[in-house]
Amino acid sequence: MSQFENVSITKKANVYFDGKVTSRKVTFADGSVKTLGIMLPGEYEFATDAAELMEIAAGDLEILLPGSDSWQKVVGGESFNVPANASFKLKIYQVTDYCCSYLAA
Amino acid sequence: MSQFENVSITKKANVYFDGKVTSRKVTFADGSVKTLGIMLPGEYEFATDAAELMEIAAGDLEILLPGSDSWQKVVGGESFNVPANASFKLKIYQVTDYCCSYLAA
């Protein structure tokens, strides 16, 4: 599926880390929410409220998930989950195009 | 209007200038197309096919429009038009959140 259909998209971008991470919110007919975003090379830490599924469409990065002490390589076509109410770290090596799904509790 | 409703959004981002300019395509029920994008500080040149309306939601930039020899300041809340089959230059001073509408010939 190359596009999301019959959705709403919030015009204003979410901007983090001086614009090195940006995203826009997509809302589906059933009320569920995803963000489509871009991360430029750098190191970042994010905190979650809801649990997240991060799908990496393109990119080259490493992630440090909560409770882990080893960085895990992720490339385009792969995905990972982050639990709710947690923080995780990313090292981005190449421009990363992602889709983040916020999972119901 | 804070969001576009009943649209399709292309999942894959358009990535230019090593990711310093990125956008995603939004397609409306009537077939018209806009892109929502982010430009980070830097200097860029773009070429148009269709004429474009560039609406700047947030940002601080200067533009050099085709046929002009003077740079024009643009800030969030302002917009400008670019003719079809032309090139224009931008100097981005602060992270710029924009909506580009592609205008019918």
Chain A interface, best mutation among B2, B5, B9, B39, by max A CB count within 10 A: B9
What phi, psi does A17 have (nearest 5°)?
Answer: 50, 55
DSSP 8-state symbol, B2: -
Interface membership of B3 toward A (CB under 8 Å): yes
Domains of chain A, first to last: 8-103 (2.60.120.10)
Residue of A11, A15, A20 lying closest to B2 (CB–CB): A11
User: Each residue's pLDDT tens digit in chain A (105 positions)?
Assistant: 799 999 999 999 999 999 999 999 999 999 999 999 999 999 999 999 999 999 999 999 999 999 999 999 999 999 999 999 999 999 999 999 999 999 986
B19/A95 CB distance under 8 A: yes
Interfacial A residues in 63-92 facing B (CB < 8 Å): none
Q: Report which residue type is found at A31.
A: G
CA B86, CA A34: separation in Å to the nearest integer? 36
A8/B13 CB distance under 8 A: no
DSSP 8-state symbol, B31: S
Which ipTM did the prediction report?
A: 0.94
Q: A72 vs A87, B19, B25, B71, CA distance in Å? A: 15, 23, 31, 46
A4/B2 CB distance under 8 A: no
Chain A interface, best mutation among B38, B98, B100, by max A CB count within 10 A: B38
